[in-house]
Amino acid sequence: MKPYVFVTRKMPEHLLSDLYEIAEVGMWEHEDIPVPSEVLQKELERADALFSLVSDPLRSQQLAKCPKLKVIANMAVGYDNIDVEHATNKGIVVCHTPDVLTDTTADLTFALLLATARKIPEATDYIKNDQWQQWSPYLLAGTDVHHKTIGIVGMGRIGEAVAKRAKGFDMEILYHNRSRKMETEQQLGAKYCSFEELLQQSDYVVCLAPFTPVTKELFDQQAFQQMKNSAIFINASRGGLVNEAALQEALEKGVIQAAGLDVFAEEPVRANHPLVQLPNVVAIPHIGSATVETRDAMVKMTVENIKKVLEGKPPLAAVNFKELGV
C-alpha cells in the first residue's frame, strides 16, 4: 500500500504531482479556512506524513494519536506551531522551508519599514477619502530612512538580507544575535552590540528573531522605554516576541513614534484590535513571504521534504536532525 499524506490546506494540484506518484494524498478542501481540529485529529491517526502550515497547532495532544506519522513538513521557516520535542520523542521528523523565502521576506520587511516611516498607507487613504484639498510643506511629513540607524534583532538569513537592503540606503547597521556574525560584519559593515545598546541607539528596531521560550515577549515595557522617542518598531518575525499591551502603551504615550507589524500574538486579528486601531501603526496580515513565486517554491520544498523522508532519504531541511540521527 502507498503511504498516506494529508495536506492541511488546499494547494495547487500541479505542485503536488511528486506526492501523487508515491503516496495517497488527502487534502483539506479550503484555501482560506484552516482545517478543523477534529478533522486534523482524524487525519493524523492515519497519516504517514503531514503537510502543515504555521496556523496548524501540532502540540502534544494533537500528536498523541498518530501511530504511523513519520514526518511533519511545515510550509514555513518557523515551526513554533509544532511541539518539536514531543515529535522527536515519537521519532517524527520535523521539516521546514528555510532559504527559499529569505529575499522575499526581506523585501516585505523593508517595504513595511518604508511604508511606516513615510506614512504610505495614511497618504493613500488621504486621497481615497478626498482629503487632498491643497499642498502644504508638512503635509503627511514622515521620517527619513537613508543615513539613519537600523537595529536588527535576529541576524539570521532574513536579517542579513534586510541588512543588505539597509546598506543601499546608507544606513548604519547594528545587530543583536545569539552569536556574532563576523563575515556579515565584514561584508556589510554591521556592528554587533548588546540588546540594550541596540534599543538605545537605533532609529529603526527590526524584530527578526525566532520565537522561542527565551525570546517570548522580548519586547516588553522595559524594552520600549529604552528606545528613542522617535524610534520606529518593525516586527516581521512572530507576534509572540512582543508584549502587545506594552507596545500599545508605548505608541499611545509617545514612548516610541510608530510601528509596522506583519505579525500578531493571536492571528488572524480583526479591525477592532487595539494596535490596528492606532493611527501610528501600519498593520498587514502576515504576508512576509507572500509572492506567487515564493509560495510555489515553499510548496515544492515541503513536498520534497515529505518525499525524501518517505523514501528513507535525508530531507532538504529538518529541525531535529541531531536528535533523530537523520
**Which residues are catalytically annotated?**
238, 267, 286
All cell numbers assigned to 49 = 506524513
Closest listed residue to residue 303, CA positions, set 93, 49, 77: 49
CA dist 131 and 197 (Å) reads 41
Q: Residue 242, SS3?
A: strand
Report phi then psi at 142, rounded to 5: -100, -145
CA dist 80 and 238 (Å) reads 9
* Cβ proximity of 185 and 159 under 8 Å: no
Residue 268: asked if its preceding bond is cis (omega within 30°), the reply is yes
* Cβ proximity of 149 and 166 under 8 Å: no
Closest listed residue to residue 212, CA positions, set 241, 237, 185, 255: 241
For cell 517570548, the residue is: 216
All cell numbers assigned to 29 = 478542501
Positive or negative CA dihedral for 117, 120, 126, 129?
Answer: negative
